[in-house]
Structure 1
Amino acid sequence: MDILTSHSPAWLAGLVLALVVTGAIAGVLAGLLGVGGGIVIVPVLYHLFTLLGIDESVRMHVTVGTSLATIIPTSIMSSRAHRRRGSLDVSLIRRLMPGVVVGVVLGAIASRYLGGGVLTAVFAVVALAVALNMAFKRDGFALADGLPGPAGTALIGTGIGGVSTLMGIGGGTLSVPILNALRVPMHTAVGTGAMLGMVISLPGALAFVVNGLGVPLRPPLSLGYVNLLGMALIVPATMATTGWGARLAHRIDARRLRQVFALFLALTSARMLAGLLS
């Protein structure tokens, strides 16, 4: 507990406030964009753990594991809210789920052997690529009409599951632009992405718990690579605000929703790349 006791009560109060605010913002984004909140949680946790002096060898792993754990309840609430509003396509989930599960397993195995710098680079580069796509994609642009055949759909699902697990995000970050490029309506893509977040976060978080058991230099109150303190502060705030985001999503047109999504991804990527290069 030296990491926590070495700081003043005022500093610790600021840490608690930062985590709660992070959870609140993540909850709104989970409902609004179907991204599970991880796109906000990951960079904030990474910088907070840096301030706390968490060793670089485990910092990103704990960040990703904790983010995946916090996404579980958020994605459940977000997907339920979108389903009530008719923006969750169950048939898409059924087609994508086998590949997504395979991708989560592959991502979890890879995370055991990849260093923190690699995980950070994966997050930053993929987030920037998605942001650029969402910001500059022409209206009406589409790669195809609907998902491809079984093999292509399995490949898409595996990529979404694997990369999302390595990034510590719920899957909407990748599934929303991909589904939208396949002529899936934006609001349906967001709702479907929220459900995929649940499919990814639960096994992904469990894998990071197992991978981190007994690993030295982890922050206090951690179960494997999942920090229980961060989870305890973030989850209630995300659960309280997810419904707000889902309601807001149905009051914003698809173009504005895409712009908001791209803006947050670009800001997140810039922050992570700056930290990686410094």
Structure 2
Amino acid sequence: MKYSTKRRIMQSGVFSLLRLSVGINGLALAIIVYFLIINGAQVITWDFLTQKPFDSMTQGGIMPCIVGTIILSFGAMAIAFPLGVCSAIYLHEYARPGKLLRFIRFAINNLAGVPSVIFGLFGLAFFVTWMGLGVSILSGILTLGFLVLPVIIGTAEEALRSVPQTYREASLGLGATKWQTIAQVVLPAALPGMLTGSILGLSRAAGETAAIMFTAAVYFSPKMPTSIFHDVMALPYHIYVLATAGTAIDKTRPLQYGTSLVLILLVFGMNLVAIWYRANMQKKAR
């Protein structure tokens, strides 16, 4: 009886701690969003969302930045998601357990913790300089793709682990090959979980500054990009430019907060679309 009471008290304490953690995170998000709304909502108008910036970024809007952020984010996911899923399939379904596999997973986990500025310098040295792509959308997409790749691999592998082994055994028992089993049984069941990784990767790609300031983003571009070999403006780098505007920093302060609020709303919107798509995939899988 005493043991049962002690266990209930411990369970209640752990649940309370979890609720407190969720509450602190939710409160922090609410404070940040409230701060941005109070300081930046007054500048968000139709012209602000549809015009180009001018007069040293102190006037106009952020339309090129919005377009650039969307292109870079979805472009990075178009590169990282297939590579990440293929890597996860090899690691979980084909690779033999051993020291080499443990080393590869260790390297992937460490790669996920590398600061984004290191990826930016890598992109500058490899894509921009060595491959001759220059400061361009393609360089930024490839750099961001490598940046979010460890997240995609990790979540994709976890999604594959969540598929019951009996699915594989039943498929193989019916005469399917291993690849047919993976492609027609395992992947459809694991895909909704893999999309969770894509949501996390999309959020990180959309908010990165250091990774694109060396490879894709520019201070100002007078035209919308028409090719993947053109440079581009992006919301995170635009916020950085406004925040370091020198003598004009007081004049651009509302623009900083307004642009930050738009970035948060844009990331929220992209995540919402990805979550909606994942929910539809889960319904079809059932």
- Kindly indicate whether structure 1 or structure 2 has the higher relative contact order, using CA contacts under 8 Å at least 6 residues apart: 1
TM-score (norm 1): 0.29
Which of the pair has more CA radius of gyration? 2
TM-score (norm 2): 0.28
